């Protein structure tokens, strides 16, 4: 008979141990402590806990204690072991003493059923009884998780050799249930953790590959853009400086340039004319005014550029910038006639930097103008061709930089 | 009488298997080391030896070699927790009659031992 005191003790033990152990992913420790408790504080000669190992499809011991115990490292139960099939197959259920197996109960049933029961059942029972006898097991308590048999508590005879009473058996059932839940939960957590880890690794690999590919493509685009600049005799300019001016303007405007935003702006500035690679040289480098047809061809460079950048999926926004850098603030630009905020802010910046660049550069048809002239021109077109906020930021950032370099060097300070 | 020698440095395992096979009417001897095992093979002349691989001193592999050299008729079943492919192949090369890894199914072990015995008695 279990005193109410020992019941409370057990609950305290379980509570305190499980709180620390389960979190440590060490259910074996908890189970061993429970077995030790059975061994020391209850009248059990020996006890062992077996757990079903998924994947391996057999039951192994997580612990075995006491005099006459089954050596834990030696023995496993296959799925067809009589003590496993007793609980996993339903045929014995109706005739068993309860949802546990008792050696004495089984012997009693064998005696009573000898004449009335079919011989197949009797032989099954005898086999089961023989296994229990060999292993000196008095009680087998099953543990289920959902409907699967996940564990077996094997209890040896009482030290006093008396039979276990209903109270004690009920107590063993509670313990077994607890153990099964602890083990299953920990298994799940471990599995989940491992799978998650694997998934994360795969994702990291894929992401690394993708980034590498994107970077390669970006590098190709960049060198292509340099080609464009080299091919276009008007622009003997330096991509790096276009990039720098645009960045300066964006910063002046207080745009968000954290993380990828900066890369997107930078790519837009660098790649905005990449589509010119598809414009015939005689149009691109024509000294005089373009005819209407030539001008129409020239205008296609924005869509051509966007098309070239299509595979750069990381920079979908860059495509939009490239495509929109000839849109005007008042909606009079091309190719789509977007206006105001419809035009990506980066494209509005590219438009201003590009225009400034065109004005101060010496071209076949015009000598480079002074920065001050360019500023005036930008301001005059603010609100029409250009976003006034961009113009204002550009002019103020640019003027500050020129002041820093000294007024005398103003003309030279125009860097492109 | 069927004669069996159980060799394992863990006494508990020896005792358990001894009781298990005695219940099945075997004459069971036990040894806890390689040297003891060779002595027992000589003195008790078992038909089957259950042999642990990992033991202090002389390990199971050298015991196996010596049994197979001196007593080629004795069947040796390796019973061990070590299960690398190399070890299994080595044991097979040295003439082991089976290689069972711990934890094991007692039902399978019993069947295997009985089979080895009937092979021997069949030959006679």
Q: How high is the mean pLDDT of chain A?
A: 82
pLDDT given at position A247: 92
Cα separation, A297 vs A282, in Å, equals 11
Alpha carbons A143 and A153: distance in angstroms, whole number? 8
Domain boundaries, chain A: 4-183, 213-413
Provide the shortest C-alpha distance from residue A130 to chain B (in Å): 10
Does the A4-183 domain belong in CATH 3.30.450.40? Answer: yes
Higher pLDDT residue, B116 or A117?
Answer: B116
- Nearest residue in chain A measured CA to CA from B22: A134
- Pair B76, B67: CB distance under 8 Å: yes
Q: What is the CB neighbour count within 10 angstroms for residue A44?
A: 23
H and E: helices and strands count for chain B: 5, 6
**In this model, does residue A2 exceed pLDDT 50?**
no
Q: Residue A316 class from Cβ within 10 Å (0-12 exposed, 13-18 middle, 19+ buried)? A: exposed
Is the dihedral angle over the CA atoms A225, A226, A227, A232 positive or is it negative?
positive
- Cβ contacts from A onto B, under 8 A: 36
Q: Which two tokens stand for residue A387?
A: 């976003």
Partners of residue B13 in chain A, C-beta under 8 Å:
71, 73-74
**Chain A partners within 8 Å of B102 (Cβ):** 73-74
Question: Please, are residues A39 and A68 in contact by the beta-carbon 8 Å criterion?
Answer: no
> What is the CATH architecture assignment of A213-413?
Orthogonal Bundle (1.10)
Task: Provide the ipTM.
Answer: 0.91
- Chain B residues in contact with A79 by the CB 8 A cut-off are none
Cβ atoms of B74 and B46 within 8 Å: the answer is yes
Can you tell me the distance from the alpha carbon of A334 to that of A339, in angstroms, rounded to the nearest whole number? Answer: 10
- Which range, A237-246, A340-349, A363-372, has the best average confidence (pLDDT)? A340-349
Structural contact between residues A249 and A326, judged by C-beta atoms closer than 8 angstroms:
no
Whether the pLDDT of residue B121 is over 60: the answer is yes
Backbone angles phi, psi at A236, to 5 degrees: -95, 20
Q: What is the pLDDT of residues A44-58, one digit of tens each?
A: 999 999 988 878 889
Which tens digits make up the pLDDT trace of B16-56? Answer: 999 999 999 999 999 999 999 999 999 999 999 999 998 88
What pLDDT sits at residue A365? 58
* Confidence band of A21 (pLDDT split at 50, 70, 90): low
B2-111 has which CATH code?
3.40.50.2300
CB A354 within 8 A of CB A272: yes
The beta-carbon neighbor of A76 closest among B16, B17, B104 is B104
Cβ contact A35:A65 at 8 Å:
yes
Binary contact (B105, A74; C-beta < 8 A): no
User: For residues A363 and A248, is the Cβ–Cβ distance under 8 A?
Assistant: no
């Amino acid at each position: 008979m279990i005193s109410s005191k020992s019941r409370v003790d057990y609950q305290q033990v379980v509570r305190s141990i499980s709180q620390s152990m389960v979190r440590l992913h060490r259910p074996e420790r908890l189970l061993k402590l429970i077995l030790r408790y059975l061994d020391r504080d209850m009248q059990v000669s020996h006890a062992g806990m077996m757990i079903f190992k998924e994947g391996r499809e057999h039951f192994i011991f997580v612990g075995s204690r006491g005099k006459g115990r089954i050596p834990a490292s030696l023995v496993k139960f296959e799925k067809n072991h009589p003590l496993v099939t007793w609980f996993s197959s339903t045929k014995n259920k109706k005739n068993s003493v309860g949802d546990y197996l008792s050696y004495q109960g089984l012997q009693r049933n064998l005696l009573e059923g000898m004449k009335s029961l079919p011989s197949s059942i009797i032989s099954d029972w005898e086999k089961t009884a023989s296994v229990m006898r060999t292993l000196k097991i008095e009680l087998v308590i099953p543990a289920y998780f959902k409907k699967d048999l996940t564990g077996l508590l094997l209890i040896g005879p009482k030290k006093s050799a008396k039979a276990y009473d209903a109270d004690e058996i009920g107590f063993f059932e509670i313990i077994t249930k607890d153990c099964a839940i602890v083990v299953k939960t920990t298994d799940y957590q471990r599995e989940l953790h491992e799978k998650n880890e694997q998934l994360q690794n795969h994702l990291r690999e894929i992401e690394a590959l993708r980034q590498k590919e994107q970077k390669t493509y970006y590098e190709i685009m960049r060198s292509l853009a340099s080609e464009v600049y080299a091919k276009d005799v008007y622009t003997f300019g330096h991509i790096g400086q276009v990039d720098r001016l645009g960045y300066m303007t964006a910063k002046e405007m207080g745009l968000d340039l954290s993380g990828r935003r900066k890369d997107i702006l930078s790519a837009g500035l660098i790649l905005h004319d990449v589509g010119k690679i598809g414009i015939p040289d005689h149009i691109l480098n024509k000294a005089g005014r373009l005819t209407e047809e030539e001008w129409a061809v020239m205008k296609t460079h924005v869509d051509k550029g966007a098309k070239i950048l299509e595979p750069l999926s990381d920079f979908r926004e860059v495509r939009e910038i490239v495509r929109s850098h000839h849109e005007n603030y008042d909606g009079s630009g091309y190719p789509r006639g977007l206006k105001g905020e419809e035009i990506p802010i980066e494209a509005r910046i590219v438009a201003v930097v590009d225009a400034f660049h065109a004005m101060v550069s010496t071209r076949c048809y015009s000598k480079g103008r002074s920065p001050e002239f360019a500023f005036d021109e930008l301001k005059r077109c603010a609100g029409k061709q250009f976003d006034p906020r961009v113009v204002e930021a550009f002019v103020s950032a640019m003027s500050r930089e020129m002041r820093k370099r000294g007024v005398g060097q103003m003309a030279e300070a125009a860097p492109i | 009488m069927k004669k069996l020698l159980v060799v394992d440095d863990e006494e508990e395992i020896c005792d358990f298997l001894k009781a298990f096979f005695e219940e099945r009417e075997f004459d069971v001897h036990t040894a806890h080391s390689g040297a003891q095992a060779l002595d027992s093979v000589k003195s008790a002349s078992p038909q089957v030896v259950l042999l642990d691989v990992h033991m202090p001193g002389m390990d199971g592999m050298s015991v196996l070699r010596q049994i197979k050299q001196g007593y080629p008729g004795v069947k040796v079943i390796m019973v061990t927790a070590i299960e690398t492919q190399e070890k299994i192949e080595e044991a097979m090369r040295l003439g082991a009659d089976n290689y069972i890894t711990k934890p094991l199914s007692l039902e399978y072990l019993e069947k295997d031992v009985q089979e080895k015995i009937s092979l021997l008695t069949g030959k006679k």
